[in-house]
A and B are shown apart, each in its own frame.
Chain A
Amino acid sequence: DSGVTQTPKHLITATGQRVTLRCSPRSGDLSVYWYQQSLDQGLQFLIQYYNGEERAKGNILERFSAQQFPDLHSELNLSSLELGDSALYFCASSVGWRQPQHFGDGTRLSIL
């Protein structure tokens, strides 16, 4: 158990819909990262937050947004969903930067 909690584990929805993925980092970790794993793109970094502030952005679509709350949990919002958004979404956390990142079990998103 990595100590990073992601909910829900599975999500099935339709094109055009909006979903919210939730992540609780390990106790004491201030950094939260979101990654997307798909068959064609592999594991790709989306966005990072540190202590409530956005620190780095990767290949995150404009339809996607995220935030980190004062209690350090984070949410990833995906809107206007398309079939290609079907993927495994991971959250990771670390104490700070240049530290080991610990991954949650992921949320498997299926768009029908």
Chain B
Amino acid sequence: GIQVEQSPPDLILQEGANSTLRCNFSDSVNNLQWFHQNPWGQLINLFYIPSGTKQNGRLSATTVATERYSLLYISSSQTTDSGVYFCAVEGGGSNYKLTFGKGTLLTVNP
């Protein structure tokens, strides 16, 4: 099946700093989503981005499908950004499941 690798596994920032999270995948994808799992365990949709670039406030994402990677940018980080960020992909063919990476644990200190 498709492989998803996220880096870095852990990231510690001071409030106000910027960061870039990376997601590499091993095959072509029909669906790529970024999620934030907050300390209460909720999985929050950030972006649906199988290709191209999107922005939502301080967050933006870019997927370069031909090179099999996606980037999530967080600018001016806040303590509420802390949590685990997951990249999840749906491969080609008739397999519609999302395969998740192991996530990046982000800690933003005040």
Interface residues of A (CB under 8 A from B): 2, 31, 33, 35, 42-45, 48, 55-56, 58, 88, 90, 92, 97-103, 105-106, 108
Contacts and interface: CB of A to CB of B under 8 A. Distances in A.
Nearest to A50: B96
B31 A99 contact: yes
A42 B105 CA distance: 13
B45 A45 contact: no
Interface of B is mostly: strand
B45 A48 contact: no
Chain B interface residue count: which class?
Answer: 20 to 34
19 contacts: A2-B45, A42-B100, A42-B103, A43-B86, A43-B100, A45-B98, A45-B99, A55-B96, A58-B97, A99-B31, A100-B31, A100-B33, A100-B48, A102-B45, A103-B45, A105-B41, A106-B41, A106-B42, A106-B43
A97 B41 contact: no
A88 B31 CA distance: 23
A88 B48 contact: no
B63 to A, nearest CB: 14
Contacts, number: 50
A97 B93 CA distance: 11
Contact of B41 (A42, A55, A56, A88): A88
Interface of B: 30-31, 33, 35, 41-43, 45, 48, 86, 88, 90, 94-100, 102-103
